[in-house]
Structure 1
């Protein structure tokens, strides 16, 4: 059976840390210790891209931070269960260059690259907006307000520019707001604290951004802390110091399912205003055999996910239960259930609870 495809688009201004994040994301999840603890590992589909990412990370260990990307990159990662040969999930990572936010294309070739990149955004189930933790720490919520205003204006401009050329750009409907360089914050600072500050001090800007993206629930209820590496004064990088990197793919998975539930609920004429996500998920499971008939194409993978991960698994806060389900799946050779359940468990462990928070 071919792997499930998850598409994620990553946005961030120059210097926010997208390039370092990608290198740390790959390096952390290719290690035997990660495979032992989380029961899966990842592998770059393109060997050259994988080697490039590892090279970036090893240069980080020497204190050599890479320059930010100046082009639209698409990198594919396969997720393999421990000791099983078949890939279960393939993540398509779209990296939208920060420079494209700030400058016009330099020539026709770059203009075409931007056009092609924008078309791929419509395939993404989830978008990640990366806020620069160093700027947030020094400038406070004024920086967050600027980030939201700037991103909203840029998305609006991209939509209008694309429409004028006959290409209707479509942005992801589900979003995660992630704070990079989280090692700069106190050890007791979590994603819940970040959420509280943003919703308190930048609510008007959040509303504007949701309106521009034409998605009422796009921003304001999923938050992450991400620290690719710790960077002390001597610039000696310890690869064990990352935060939230292991929870990133699981957060994308869960956000995809949540998006599908909302899409399904929106198609029903009658539903309670107090209906919870899990009530909606239960209804979705009941009609899973026909789910592809009414879900948009980007969410059709959810019909497959829900055949392998139960409502109880999604709702469970007990890591021990999730790990038991995962290990049972490994023994049976059930590739999909092993990886998907392992991802849900990664959001429930100590690091996941600090690094990821959703308020709805």
Structure 2
């Protein structure tokens, strides 16, 4: 069975930490200790890309932070369940350079690279906007308001320019707002605290951004704290300490399922306005054999997910129950179920509960 494809678009201004995040994400989840605890490991589909990511991480161990990416990158990661030979999930990671949102293309080649890269947006189930934790810590509310205003204006500019060129650009409908460099905040600071501050202090800017993206629930719903490495003041960088990096892939998975549920609910005219997400998910489970008939192409993968992970797992299963289901799946060779239940469990452990928060 071919791996399940998830497409993710990552955005952030220059210096927000995207390059370090990718290196830490890859290094952490290729280690035997990670595979033992979470029952899966990842592998770069392109060996050269994997080696570059590891090289960046090892230079971090020497205190050398890599320069930010200046070009669009597509990196593919396969997720392998422990003790099973076939990959279960493949993430297509689209890394958009920060300078694309800050400066004009330097020449015709970069303009064409930008055009081709931005067309990948329409393939993405989930977008991630990375806020710079150092700037937020220093500047507070004004930085978050600027980030939302700036990103909304650039998305609007891109949509209008593309329409004028006859190429309609579509954006992901499901988004995660992630805060990088979370090690700069107190140990008790959580994604719930970040959500409370953003929704209180930047609600108008959030509304504008959702309107530009034409997605009512795009922002203000999912929040993630990320610390790729610990870099305390006057102390050596510690690449072995991170927060939220192991929670990132599970958050993407759940966001994809939620997006499909919303699409399915919108397609059903008789849906009650009070219908909850999980009621909508139950309907998807009931009609999973025909789910492809009414879901957009980018969400058809959800029909596969719902064949391997029950609604109970998404709704309320305890961590120990999910881990038991994961180990049972490994013994039976159920590749999809092993990885997917492992990812859902990662959202329920101590790190997941601090690093990830949904307010709906």
The TM-score, its normalising length taken from structure 1, stands at: 0.99
Deviates further, 325-334 or 239-248: 239-248
Query: 1:177-235 CA distances to partner (integer Å, 9 max, x unpaired)?
Result: 00000000000000000000000000000000000000000000100000000013456
8 Å contact kept, 2:60–2:239: no
1:67 aligned residue? 67
CA positional deviation for 1:166: 1.3
CA positional deviation for 1:237: 2.9
Name the CA distance, whole Å, in 2 between partners of 1:270 and 1:348: 33
Q: Which consecutive residues of structure 1, in runs of 5 or more, have no partner in the other structure?
A: none
CA positional deviation for 1:270: 1.2
> Partner of 2:197: helix, strand, or coil?
helix
CA positional deviation for 1:317: 4.6
8 Å contact kept, 1:317–1:348: no
> Partner of 1:127: helix, strand, or coil?
strand
Name the CA distance, whole Å, in 1 between partners of 2:61 and 2:161: 41
2:26 aligned residue? 26
Name the CA distance, whole Å, in 2 between partners of 1:151 and 1:24: 25
8 Å contact kept, 1:28–1:239: no
8 Å contact kept, 2:127–2:176: yes
8 Å contact kept, 1:62–1:235: no
CA positional deviation for 1:316: 2.2
Q: Does 1:44 align with 2:44?
A: yes
CA positional deviation for 1:9: 0.1
Query: 1:19-55 CA distances to partner (integer Å, 9 max, x unpaired)?
Result: 0000000000000000000000000000000000000
Query: 1:132-172 CA distances to partner (integer Å, 9 max, x unpaired)?
Result: 00000000011000000000000000111111111111110
1:306 aligned residue? 306
Name the CA distance, whole Å, in 2 between partners of 1:275 and 1:243: 34
8 Å contact kept, 2:40–2:81: yes
CA positional deviation for 1:339: 0.2
Counterparts in 2 of 1:120 and 1:324: CA distance versus 1, 3 Å: same
Name the CA distance, whole Å, in 2 between partners of 1:104 and 1:298: 30
8 Å contact kept, 1:63–1:235: no
Runs of 4+ in 1 over 2 A off after TM superposition: 232-240
Name the CA distance, whole Å, in 1 between partners of 2:184 and 2:142: 18
Name the CA distance, whole Å, in 1 between partners of 2:256 and 2:88: 16
Name the CA distance, whole Å, in 1 between partners of 2:240 and 2:9: 26
CA positional deviation for 1:276: 1.1
Number of equivalences: 360
For the aligned residue pairs, the C-alpha RMSD in angstroms reads 0.8
1:169 aligned residue? 169
Deviates further, 161-170 or 139-148: 161-170
8 Å contact kept, 1:79–1:90: yes
Name the CA distance, whole Å, in 1 between partners of 2:163 and 2:235: 46
CA positional deviation for 1:271: 1.6
1:260 aligned residue? 260
Name the CA distance, whole Å, in 1 between partners of 2:325 and 2:240: 27
> Partner of 1:188: helix, strand, or coil?
coil
The TM-score, its normalising length taken from structure 2, stands at: 0.99
8 Å contact kept, 1:130–1:180: yes
8 Å contact kept, 1:20–1:228: yes
Q: Which consecutive residues of structure 2, in runs of 5 or more, have no partner in the other structure?
A: none
8 Å contact kept, 1:148–1:205: yes
CA positional deviation for 1:67: 0.5
Name the CA distance, whole Å, in 2 between partners of 1:207 and 1:36: 42
Query: 1:260-298 CA distances to partner (integer Å, 9 max, x unpaired)?
Result: 000000011112222111110000110000000110010
